[in-house]
Copies of this chain bind each other. A is one copy, B any other.
Amino acid sequence: MASASTPFRTLGPEARMAAFPLGGIGTGNVSLGSRGEFRDWEISNHPDKGAWMPFTFFAVRVEPDGGPAVTRVLESRQPPPYEGDSGEHIGKVAGLPRLAHSTAVGEYPIMTIDFHDDDVPVEIRLTAYTPLVPLDADDSGIPGAVLRYTVHNPQQVPVRVSIAGSMTNPLGICGRNMFQFPEWDGAPSVELRSDGDVHGLWFTTGLADDDLRYGTATLATRGDVTATPMWPVDFWQDGVQLFWDAFSSTGRLEPAEAFTLEDAPRERLPKQRTGSLCVEREIGPGESADVEFVLAWHTPNRPKAWLGMAGLADTHADQVVQNQYATRYADAWAVTRDLVERREQLEASTVDFHAALYGSTLPPEVVDAVTATLVVARSTTCFRIADGTPEGRFAGWEGSFDHQGSCEGTCTHVWNYAQTLAHLFPSLERNARRREFLHETLEDGRMRFRSNSIFDAEPHEFHAAVDGQMGTIVRLYREWRFSGDDEFLRETWPAAQRALQYAFDFWDADKDGVLDSQQHNTYDIEFYGPNSLANSMFLAALAAATRLAEHLGDQEAADRYRAAFETGSAKVDELLWGGEYYVQRIDDVDAHRYQYGLGCLSDQLLGQTLAHVAGLGYVLPEDHVRSAVQAVHRHNMRHGFDDYASVQRTYALADDAGLVLCTWPEGGRPRIPFVYSDEVWSGIEYQVATHLIYEGLVDEGLEIVRAVRARHDGVRRNPWNEAECGNHYARSMASWGALLALTGQQYDASTGTLVVAPRAEAFLDGVARFPVTTGTGWGVVTVEGGAARLEVLGGAIDAELVLEPASPTGTQQNRSTQEEGTR
């Protein structure tokens, strides 16, 4: 097992794929590369991987008392390749000297980068983050970031240090020209704006405030500055020469002498607008100083339509909706002021959250996994639109293609797997459940698994998705239990009952309590005949509905659901148990394409995983469940893919390790199995790892988690982007389940209990210390010497803390559920 000091996310300049996203929930991102470079400017309400901003970089000049000055771009040197159709682009200033080396430590949500250069007589560290406050989606949804350069002077003499940030207007960009320079709509501008002791570059667009590309942005700091508010605007790039010459020679900046230096200005000058802001510090021997910048943006307008590829009607595509953050901030200057004024408080919460994970004794690979995939919630995959309520409407793509969203509608069968939001920002998941039950569930119980009502648009008519629809009922239970929000439950319960009834009516053709008809699912095809993916979900939904009906006092319904659960569970086991794992029963596996038949499906017990997470206990016999998930690990986990033959999309290759979606250990592979069967999806890997840990197979579970994260090492792939059909794929938020399983935390607002049951063997140093969240507060639990104590770090937790022994059969609570379920 990895030790506490395992540098899971320590990255050198060779980690070219690394892009650490700054930005909050529903704000878009700017990412930070491992060398300190800013990359992937995705602040304009759509994904845009690779979008870089010319002439946007920080530089430092260091002049020791009596010594020569040295000036460097505040990035480490880039490794090859250096290919480009015009060399390295002028806008990347690749020809300016950089710092010799860097060490980035990306512990989401905080990135630090230490720069090293023997020729630079100070030590420089960049600390960058966007505030993250558990349970507070607003304070975790600020469109901006704090960038703090800390400079330490180890010399015997004082040094004069200047740090300058240069930035090109990133707003209103409508394309790139053949030289790869952006092209801008409107009349982009930059000027120096001052407001008390806050001074910043202030970027505007000159566009109407309902224009899709309208927005504002700032790069600001507190205290004295010098500046070149706007570089001269020429056909040639003379501004950067003047900037560098001035900064490197004096460490101070001055306003440019003229708008353009052209002898005979062209008719059509470029719209590029770049400015520089410079902060100077005198640092005594042995002392340190902070130079802190705030980067903020405010691009309020989104099209009122998904504009996606799953075929939803874009009914109101000509209209504009606002991001929810626009209801909190008038413009980027307001964001800046807020970030400057509440910086200490916001940073304290962010650091607390960081410490709760990175200071825990959880296996580092699990900390790495849950934080790296938490990024999804704050990536372009998720957004919140204003609708007149403070909360707005939360929505998500499945993921983000490089330049547009992938698969719209907060897809129920993909979001099924995600546990992160439910446990960190539960209000957003309740928001999604309301949407699904109140706006997307028809009278006959069919739930549209892609929401178009988010945009008040015409509904998406397609098959219902059995796994998504059943999972939504389990998740309703999860959300209600975590929040204790009875109003939320009463509001959604009628539709939830209809959605459950739909399974009896439409998916159980022979009415034997086992789903068996055409079952559309997360593999984007239909399974035919009984299979344990659909049926474990159905059983979990029945278990959840039993509890909910009981809570609501509808004993008739509770009894009915319980009876169906008991009958179904027994029949499913009888029908689908294959001796080692559960299978699909179908007479001719090739009668329909895309089945799996006797295959060992990694997702065969997805419903059981969700039931464990929700504290619903076993939905199938415990010994069979454990055997099955063990078989999944045994057969589907691969170490190395060089000899593997898959014609599908490739998420693991070479000496990667990973869990494939299905194997046929005893033969019976269909001629054309389901279209993703040979792939490796981190979201499924995490749900299987979660399940393995719940079953006490901790080593096996952690092995899978390590495999996922080793694939995302910064050289092979970006550590903060687990892609499936799109980057920042929602399914990858299944990772939080591993944390839940390891800690055995179960918060039940209805009973006022917070159970913890840590898998002691997985924790470092013999002490289990880990974060816990509830619907009302969060903190850190420490289990030591047979006792558990809770330190509340945010909100309030009014619950009895119960320490239970971890056991292969789940917590005592789970056990009692099982007893209940089988009595």
Contacts and interface: CB of A to CB of B under 8 A. Distances in A.
A723 B82 CA distance: 11
Contact of A718 (B17, B83, B725): B83
Contacts of A90: 647-650
Contact of A86 (B87, B649, B717): B649
Interface string A10-23: 00000011000000
Interface stretch (A235-243, A770-778, A804-812): A235-243
Interface stretch (A121-129, A396-404, A605-613): A396-404
A367 B392 CA distance: 67
Interface in A268-290: none
A248 interface: yes
Contact of A645 (B97, B178, B711): B97
A723 B178 contact: no
Given A80-B715, A178-B404, A238-B593, A649 B87 contact: yes
A678 B17 CA distance: 30
Interface stretch (A445-453, A488-496, A538-546, A636-644): A636-644
Given A86-B724, A650-B92, A81 B645 contact: no
Interface in A356-399: 399
A621 to B, nearest CB: 35
A726 interface: yes
Interface string A697-725: 00000000000000100011110010111
A9 B119 CA distance: 36
A16 B654 contact: no
Interface string A511-551: 00000000000000100000000000000000000000000
Contacts of A641: 95
Contact of A84 (B16, B98, B592, B723): B723
Interface string A641-682: 111111111110110100000000000000110010011000
A82 B401 contact: no
A81 B16 contact: yes
A78 interface: yes
A593 B241 CA distance: 12
Contacts of A71: 645
Interface in A618-644: 641-644
Given A654-B78, A675-B236, A723-B87, A647 B716 contact: no
A577 interface: no
Contact of A97 (B95, B100, B644, B675): B644
A204 interface: no
A453 B593 CA distance: 59
Given A86-B725, A90-B649, A723-B86, A178 B675 contact: no
Contacts of A654: 77-80, 82
Q: How many copies does the complex hold?
A: 2
A506 interface: no
Which of A100, A643, A649, A723 has the most C-beta atoms of chain B within 10 angstroms of its own C-beta? A649
A157 interface: no
A767 interface: no
Contacts of A672: 238, 241-242, 261
A244 interface: yes
A93 interface: yes
Interface in A417-437: none
A95 B675 contact: no
B645 A95 contact: yes
A525 to B, nearest CB: 8
A489 to B, nearest CB: 37
A95 B644 contact: yes
Given A642-B77, A654-B80, A716-B80, A648 B95 contact: yes
Nearest to A238: B672
A743 interface: no
A330 interface: no
A95 to B, nearest CB: 3
Contacts of A263: 592-593
B94 A650 contact: yes
A217 to B, nearest CB: 23
Contact of A723 (B85, B98, B401, B642): B85
A65 B691 CA distance: 47
B678 A95 contact: yes
A309 interface: yes
Contacts of A716: 80-83
A650 B85 contact: no
A677 B357 CA distance: 52
A403 B25 CA distance: 36
Interface string A301-334: 0000000010000000000000000000000000
Which of A236, A724, A726 has the most C-beta atoms of chain B within 10 angstroms of its own C-beta? A236
A571 interface: no
A635 to B, nearest CB: 18
Nearest to A245: B671
A216 interface: no
A645 B86 contact: no
Contacts of A647: 90, 93, 95-96, 237, 240-241, 244
B650 A87 contact: yes
A370 B400 CA distance: 45
A222 interface: no
A160 interface: no
Contacts of A100: 642
Which of A82, A242, A643 has the most C-beta atoms of chain B within 10 angstroms of its own C-beta? A82
A727 interface: yes
A337 interface: no
Contacts of A401: 85-86, 178
Given A238-B672, A593-B238, A651 B261 contact: no
Contact of A726 (B16, B86, B309, B715): B86
A430 to B, nearest CB: 30
A555 to B, nearest CB: 45
Contact of A82 (B77, B98, B644, B717): B717
Given A16-B81, A95-B650, A98-B642, 18 more contacts: A77-B642, A77-B654, A79-B654, A82-B711, A83-B717, A85-B723, A85-B727, A86-B401, A86-B726, A89-B649, A90-B647, A119-B643, A178-B401, A178-B404, A237-B647, A238-B593, A242-B672, A261-B672
Interface of A: 16-17, 49, 71, 77-90, 92-98, 100, 119, 178, 236-238, 240-242, 244-245, 248, 261, 263, 309, 399-404, 406, 525, 592-594, 641-651, 653-654, 656, 671-672, 675, 678-679, 711, 715-718, 721, 723-727
28 contacts: A17-B83, A49-B85, A77-B654, A80-B654, A81-B717, A83-B723, A85-B400, A85-B401, A85-B402, A85-B723, A86-B401, A86-B725, A92-B650, A95-B641, A95-B647, A95-B649, A97-B642, A97-B643, A97-B644, A178-B309, A178-B401, A178-B404, A178-B406, A236-B594, A238-B672, A241-B647, A242-B672, A244-B645
